Structure 1
Amino acid sequence: MKQIILCNPINKDTIQRYALFVVGLFFSALGVAITKKGELGVSPISSAANVMSIRFPQLSLGYWLIIWNCVLILGQILLLRKKFQWIQLLQIPLSFLFGWFTDFGVWLVSFFIPANYPAKLILVIVGTIVLGFGISLAVIANVILNSGEAFVKALSDTIHKEFGNVKVVFDITCVIVAVLLSFLFFHALKGTREGTILAAVCTGFVVKFFNQLLQKPIESYLNRSVQPNS
């Protein structure tokens, strides 16, 4: 995996990178909200929270995502123990931001009512593209991992398995948990459908595309902006 900048002193470069990360977080959350509006399922990591938000609407999707992300942070602490870097607790406020951004995104797209299956499918595709764009910005920012990827990294380091392979198993497990919750609560498949599979298959390709398109110009801008004036 790419080396993550964690302990840089607070300077202009660090501030800009965290600002870029927050922008990426916003677009990632907006992508989840758009995908949810398609009613064909959301991304694997958000799928269990989506089912819970349908069963217990007293809490919004955003707040269920906050709860889920905090569970993943606790999982990292239990896995890593003394090796856990306390700077990673920044994931907690960032998880709250992601949840709030998701609810704001749900509100933004609330006016749009998909009238048929093609419209729902288009929403899933658009949501996946927006999600991939947001993830790409967060990756380029290179400051901290989101709770899902950080949990996967903690698990892969603990069991000494390749990150990519563990990530695939983690995503599949998230979907299985969501499906089990769906049948437990509704005795039917709800909140996790073909849109979840589409997001799982396509998001990585979208992230790769935007990384190739944006990484060099963004890095170039960040490097120029922190250079002292001659």
Structure 2
Amino acid sequence: MPISSETLKRYALCILGLFFSAQGVAITKLGALGVSPISSVANVMSLRLPALSLGNWLIIWNCVLILGQILILRRKFQPIQLLQIPLSFLFGYFTDFGLWAFSWACPELYPLRLVNICCGTIMLGFGISFCVIANAVMNSGEAFVKAVSDTTHKDFGTLKICFDVSCVGIALVLSLLFFDFTIQGTREGTLIAALCTGMVIKFFTPRLRQPLERFIGCHRAQKEEISA
């Protein structure tokens, strides 16, 4: 069965969203005040074992989350969700590209490092908005939470908060173990990203939805044009 133009555009939009999100992670990383909760484990590992880049560790972490979905869902795991694997690789490569492209944006002054965190968080939320509107394949983190939610019949939003907190907790434990009981790679920037990314997504998504859905050519946009 041939793939429709709408489906191709959805995945193209998803990949573009991954690119923007990865640049956000890279910019935040260069601020050296921590990264988003879901990236915090990979960030600590990249500090402990720098032979692998942050992008490489993000690929590994995302694949661990995909494996977790398979173990939780078992026969209910849909093969289409395996597309998370190549998308995870893309996200890792995009992140390393961002670290190279924005390597000049590595400030020493604390206020400028906070600017990095804010800009990175905005870029991250902007990219996630693209993925939300594309509605193609969920990222591994949210898909993992959904797997737990579907299996335990618990609220997705509550579990997402628990998941983010757990990621930060794991990162803190790893940091204490690897760096002589000091905290590395998880700081106030992680808290800022955790608190503000959702607000950025809520800001961009309604403003981007109509033009992006018109680009996709989905039925909703067509209905809106007809009713207009």
Look up the match of 2:37: 44
| C-alpha contact 2:10 2:135 (8 A) present in aligned 1 | yes
Distance between the aligned counterparts of 2:106 and 2:172, measured in 1?
A: 25
Distance between the aligned counterparts of 1:150 and 1:64, measured in 2?
A: 19
Look up the match of 1:122: 115
Counterpart selection for 2:143 from 150, 154, 159? 150
What SS does structure 2 have at the residue aligned with 1:145? Answer: coil
Look up the match of 1:4: none
What SS does structure 2 have at the residue aligned with 1:40? Answer: coil
User: What is the one-letter code of the residue matched to 2:122?
Assistant: I
Question: What TM-score, normalized by structure 2, do the two folds share?
Answer: 0.94
Q: 1:184 to 1:18 in 2, by over 3 A?
A: same
Counterpart selection for 1:196 from 190, 200, 204? 190
User: What is the one-letter code of the residue matched to 1:155?
Assistant: V
Give aligned-pair identity as a percent. Answer: 65
Q: 1:120 to 1:144 in 2, by over 3 A?
A: same
Structure 1 residue 113 displacement after superposition:
2.6
CA offset digits 1:114-162 (Å, max 9, x no partner): 0210000000000000000000000100111010000000011111101
Look up the match of 1:93: 86
Structure 1 residue 220 displacement after superposition:
2.3
CA offset digits 1:87-132 (Å, max 9, x no partner): 1000000000000000000001112230210000000000000000
Look up the match of 1:208: 202
User: Which segments of 5 or more consecutive residues in structure 1 lack a partner in the other structure?
Assistant: 1-7
Distance between the aligned counterparts of 1:224 and 1:74, measured in 2?
A: 32
Distance between the aligned counterparts of 1:131 and 1:42, measured in 2?
A: 11
Q: Does 1:61 align with 2:30?
A: no
Structure 1 residue 9 displacement after superposition:
5.7
CA offset digits 1:46-102 (Å, max 9, x no partner): 001000000100000000000000000000000000100001000000000000000
Deviates more, 1:128-137 or 1:213-222: 213-222
User: What is the one-letter code of the residue matched to 1:55?
Assistant: R
| C-alpha contact 2:32 2:113 (8 A) present in aligned 1 | yes
User: What is the one-letter code of the residue matched to 2:97?
Assistant: F
Structure 1 residue 216 displacement after superposition:
1.5
User: What is the one-letter code of the residue matched to 1:125?
Assistant: C
Look up the match of 2:74: 81
Distance between the aligned counterparts of 1:152 and 1:40, measured in 2?
A: 26
Q: How many residues align?
A: 220
Q: Does 1:29 align with 2:22?
A: yes
Distance between the aligned counterparts of 2:104 and 2:197, measured in 1?
A: 25
Structure 1 residue 224 displacement after superposition:
7.7
Look up the match of 2:225: none
Distance between the aligned counterparts of 2:56 and 2:140, measured in 1?
A: 15
Distance between the aligned counterparts of 1:221 and 1:109, measured in 2?
A: 29
| C-alpha contact 2:34 2:188 (8 A) present in aligned 1 | yes
Structure 1 residue 223 displacement after superposition:
1.9
Question: What TM-score, normalized by structure 1, do the two folds share?
Answer: 0.93
Distance between the aligned counterparts of 1:141 and 1:28, measured in 2?
A: 14
Q: Does 1:112 align with 2:105?
A: yes
